[in-house]
Amino acid sequence: MHRLFAALLAATACASIAQAQTTPSAEAGPGQPQSTSPALAGPSFTVDRALELAGVVSPALEAASADVRAAEAGRQVAGLRPNPSVTVEAENVGGSGQYRGTRSLEATTSLTLPIELGGKRSARIAVADARTDRAAIQAAIAQADLRISVVRAYAEAASAERRLVTAHDQARIANETLRAAQVRVQAGRASPIEVQRADVARVNADAALLREERTLEVARFSLSRIIGQPISGPLDADWFSHVPAIYGPLRPIESAGTLVMAAADADLAIADASVRLARSQRVPDLTVGAGARRLEQTNDTAAIFSLSIPIPLFNNGRAALSQASAERQRADAQRRVTALDVDQAIARAQADAANAATSAAAASGPALAAAEEAARIARIGYREGKFGQLDLLDAERTLAATRAAAIDALLSYHIAQAQLERLTARAPVTQGE
């Protein structure tokens, strides 16, 4: 056992020096074994291509676009003025005596036109403009949500590909270890129990390989559903392996102008415009009319003018104004709550991304190189009879755990980075700005 520990220390020192002097190759990034699966051959399918395809078939984007069109149509409706009305009246018809028939007919034709007072039309337009801006922001939110969904699904599929490659490599190593154990037992240098241990390890490795194949199939299917077509070729391993160096304190928090804050600001703008509309509706409108009356008996015509003003006796609009004012207060308070939540969420997302990057760099760098070197030395020493089988199995388990930790760290980094980009995404410039 002490010889294996010495080999581990030596491998760690060598890996640290190599890590400082060289960079990972493009063919096999950190944590990626050299062997590849034949099913994943061909040109890589990039995350940019996945985002492009998802944007074409996404029902969420289609719904958001329909909302924008509906809001724009609502803006046109809000700017329309009330329609005039034509009224035709016939009096003194079908009575008795001199009013029998149409001899005393008085026919009146008039045109009435409602006149809005108190700025109702401009207030409606303001509400419609605010809702149009909110729909545009919601469309941008839908795009940002789609992006994080695609990146998450892509990263999970890429990690599944990496785990499958690792499982292939572990299965190959398990078979080689079994053959080495059989040779040692046949030569009389080891107990037959070593063959049984190696065979158990081989069975477990083959079972893990089957599980990873199913996991990859499900992950690629999930991604294909989002982009609307099957995926051909492997995913971009270089993108999955790339982790930038993140040092120093967190960046300043700038929640103003983000999508979340823009949505809260738009909700407040709608509430402000609604208060103005409720206030304008307390002013009664006028209805003016003009027409002509024809008298059948004398064949004369007379002009008629009318003016009507509603009396706000039962509904003076005060309750509607109180409701709009309360909703405005709620929107303002909700905006302040959102500002606090967004600042905290961005800070947590920055920390998560930085911690995941640190973990990925550590697990994919010297630690993984040392584990691979220690396992290699243990295999050579086991074949030559210098190390026992338990030492070999311990080194292989360490290598497998380090590879899994590296893949998990890379997946956590990409998900955390996508979440941070979602929280800090900038809002589009709307017509109200």
Q: Which residues of 230-241 are buried (b: 16+ CB within 10 A; e: fewer)?
A: ebeebbbbebbb
- Which residue is listed with tokens 């409706």? 77
Q: How confident is the model at residue 389 (pLDDT cuts 50, 70, 90)?
A: confident
Do residues 427 and 137 lie in contact, with contact meaning Cβ atoms separated by under 8 Å? yes
Average model confidence (pLDDT) for the chain? Answer: 84
SS3 content of the chain, % helix, strand, coil (to 5): 65, 10, 25
Q: Name the residue with tokens 């079972």.
A: 207
Domain boundaries, the chain: 7-16+27-53+138-282+319-424
- 290 vs 110: CA distance, rounded Å: 5
Calculate mean pLDDT across residues 193-210: 89
- Look at residues 350, 144, 125, 351 and name the one whose alpha carbon lies nearest to residue 262: 144
In CATH, what number does 7-16+27-53+138-282+319-424 get? 1.20.1600.10
Poorest-confidence range of 204-213, 343-352, 395-404? 395-404
- Candidate from 138-147, 167-176, 194-203, 245-254 with smallest mean pLDDT: 245-254
Confidence of residue 130 (pLDDT cuts 50, 70, 90): very high
Beta strands in 319-424 (DSSP E): none
Mean pLDDT confidence for 251-268: 89
Share of the chain above pLDDT 90, in %: 52
Kindly tell me if the per-residue pLDDT of 262 is higher than 70: yes
Rounded mean pLDDT of 271-300? 90
Q: What is the pLDDT of residue 18?
A: 36
Label residue 187 by pLDDT band (50, 70, 90). Answer: confident
Burial class, 99, CB count within 10 angstroms (exposed 0-12 / middle 13-18 / buried 19+): middle
The pTM assigned to this predicted structure is 0.78
Q: Is the pLDDT of residue 427 over 60?
A: yes
Instruction: Name the phi and psi angles at 232, rounded to 5.
Output: -110, 135
- C-alpha 156/C-alpha 424 separation (Å) is 22
What letter represents residue 126's amino acid?
A
Q: Can you read off the two tokens belonging to residue 175? A: 């078979």
Residue 267, pLDDT score: 96
Cα separation, 64 vs 7, in Å, equals: 60
* pLDDT at 363 (0 to 100): 81
**Burial annotation 277-305 (CB, 10 A radius, 16+ → b, else e):** bbbbbeeeeebebebebeeeeeeeeeeee
